[in-house]
Homo-oligomer: A and B are copies of this chain.
Amino acid sequence: MKTSNLLIATTRETPADAVVISHQLMLRAGLIRSLAGGLYNWLPLGVRVLRKVEQIVREEMNRSGAQEVLMPVVQPLELWQESGRLQDYGPELLRFEDRHQRGFALGPTHEEIITDLVRNEIRSYKQLPINFYQIQTKFRDEIRPRFGVMRSREFIMKDAYSFHLDRDSLQQTYDEMYDAYNRIFSRIGLDFRPVQADTGSIGGDGSHEFHVLADSGEDDIAFSTESDFAANVELAEALAPRGERPAATAELTKVDTPKAFSIEEVSNCLQVKAKTIAKTLLVKGATEDAPIVALVIRGDHTLNEIKAEKLDLVAEPFELASDEEIKATAGCGAGSIGPVGLNIPVIVDRTAANMADFVCGANIEQVHYTGANWDRDAKATLIADIRNVVKGDPSPCGKGKIEIRRGIEVGHIFQLGNKYSKALNANVQNENSRSQVLEMGCYGIGVTRVVAAAIEQNHDDKGIIWPEAIAPFSVCIVPMQMHKSPRVKEAAEALYNELTTAGIEVLFDDRQERPGVMFNDMELMGIPHRIVIGERGLDKGEFEYKHRRDEKPQDIAQEGFIDWLKAKMA
């Protein structure tokens, strides 16, 4: 395509309201324009990228045996009533009435619709398992839409829903989706991790998120340096330290720690490292016998509330004890608590339980103990994993150590179980002609979000650097002073035609712009391969080539250039 036939909508200024880099670059490169809060027009350059992502997703979903369907954007509220989500779902579900005063919503997700379809169409176990997907426009009325298409109100999802007679079958399709998602994000060319995830409010067991790794990600991902293991930091298990706890060598000694309450203050005051201090927190308990319990972690660690609240002794949802409760229980403020002499259950983190000769609060205001030791000075009611993993921890998979990177969630696969099929009475006849509730899985990819995530991961100060598979064009041809040099024009047109005939997508810059403007635009738009054609090069029988990631251009002989380029692109 020639730039004269394409809306080039590049801008130099960084839009004031665009905070994240992908939002800035999508506006600056002319991929999108804002229509209203959280609503975007996709410009021609953006649509080219979007369609490529869609096509890869579609091909891999088809390859997995999933069947493409298309459900409406507008959904009747009756079905949301029936599933019970009408109450649960907040104002993000945009509801309205049609001209006959019937209630509808803009679909943020389609569990109800597909389950309704399946209960009407699938009658026999012989039709199972079955997996339906669609690539479709969705709407979520975010209270504060932001980050461009990363958290917009209207967006495109690939959502899939599978139905099964039993859990084994669900697990099998789930595994196939896991594989398909790996193929999809690999083909797109992203550095990503499938991450073990919590099943959250949607319910059911078994869930992975697919995260594109990028410094700007909202989530912390823990993964192994030596295996495929990856999990949300909140969910990654912190193993117990290897080896026995060292023997006690020091005496339990009371020391004054004036104005030292935080770990940092105590560490400075006593001139000891944070990892030698045990941090004690009082939280609400789950039982009447123990309305307050103590949690002890190592001073350099952070408490993991999700892990803590899963313990039988700890209240769910997790809640810290109030100042009054702390005073009444420990006899001091929050900054001086310690496990020695505490008359409540003491839950000790696995790593903290391996400390010896440690520092801890003395349950006297501004006083700590040094030389404290478990068993001898304080009893652990329970030893459990209640902290967040940190870099360097042994990976829970048994191989390698933990690394932590930030990630952007672009996909999510879920074993829903029978949550929706039960609520909506989606049954089939099993082999014994008995009615059986279906098992269900669901599998999403944020198609528009993938575009933004790809940019978050692949850019520099000049603009976007598209992965080859989703670049709007693979190659750009930038002719120098074409309008003054018939020779340059001829060579550029000839190369353009040859590359196009070879099935390569080329953007030919035929604008009468200065070279600097053309270079800047092509770099901003992130075209992977740039070919500059000028008089000087032609004199030597050469084109100038530069990959978007290269520091400097190189001169390549015109003869055999296309084969050279194809090899480069492969």
Contacts and interface: CB of A to CB of B under 8 A. Distances in A.
Interface of A: 5-7, 9, 33, 35-37, 39-44, 46-48, 50-51, 65, 67-76, 91-92, 94, 96-99, 102, 104, 106, 113, 116-117, 120-121, 127, 130, 132, 137, 139, 141, 143, 153-154
Give me the 8 closest cross-chain CB pairs, A-B, nearest first.
A96-B96, A42-B70, A44-B67, A36-B76, A91-B99, A39-B72, A47-B68, A72-B154
Given A33-B120, A35-B113, A121-B33, A72 B41 contact: yes
Contacts of A143: 99
A81 to B, nearest CB: 13
13 contacts: A5-B65, A5-B67, A6-B67, A33-B120, A35-B75, A35-B113, A40-B72, A42-B70, A42-B71, A43-B69, A48-B68, A74-B139, A74-B153
Number of copies: 2
A398 B227 CA distance: 80
Contacts of A5: 65, 67
Nearest to A44: B67
Given A5-B67, A44-B67, 19 more contacts: A6-B67, A33-B121, A35-B76, A35-B116, A36-B104, A37-B102, A41-B71, A43-B121, A47-B68, A48-B68, A50-B70, A72-B154, A73-B137, A74-B153, A74-B154, A94-B96, A94-B99, A96-B97, A98-B141
Nearest to A512: B126
Contacts of A6: 67
A92 B141 CA distance: 23
B7 A72 contact: no
Contacts of A106: 73-74
A50 B70 CA distance: 10
Contacts of A127: 7
Contacts of A43: 69, 121
A141 B69 contact: no
Contacts of A99: 91-92, 94, 141, 143
A47 B72 contact: no
A46 B39 CA distance: 29
B74 A117 contact: no
A219 to B, nearest CB: 25
A38 to B, nearest CB: 9
A9 B68 CA distance: 14
Contacts of A71: 35, 41-42
Contacts of A98: 94, 141, 153
Nearest to A51: B68
Contacts of A51: 68
A42 B139 CA distance: 19
A60 to B, nearest CB: 16
Contacts of A67: 5-7, 44
A63 to B, nearest CB: 12
Nearest to A45: B67
Given A33-B120, A106-B74, A153-B74, A69 B94 contact: no
Nearest to A71: B41
A7 B68 CA distance: 10
B41 A69 contact: yes
A73 B154 contact: yes
A153 B106 CA distance: 14
Nearest to A92: B99
A350 to B, nearest CB: 44
A179 B274 CA distance: 77
Contact of A41 (B9, B50, B113): B113
Contacts of A137: 73, 137
- Among A72, A96, A116, A137, max chain B CB count under 10 A is at A72
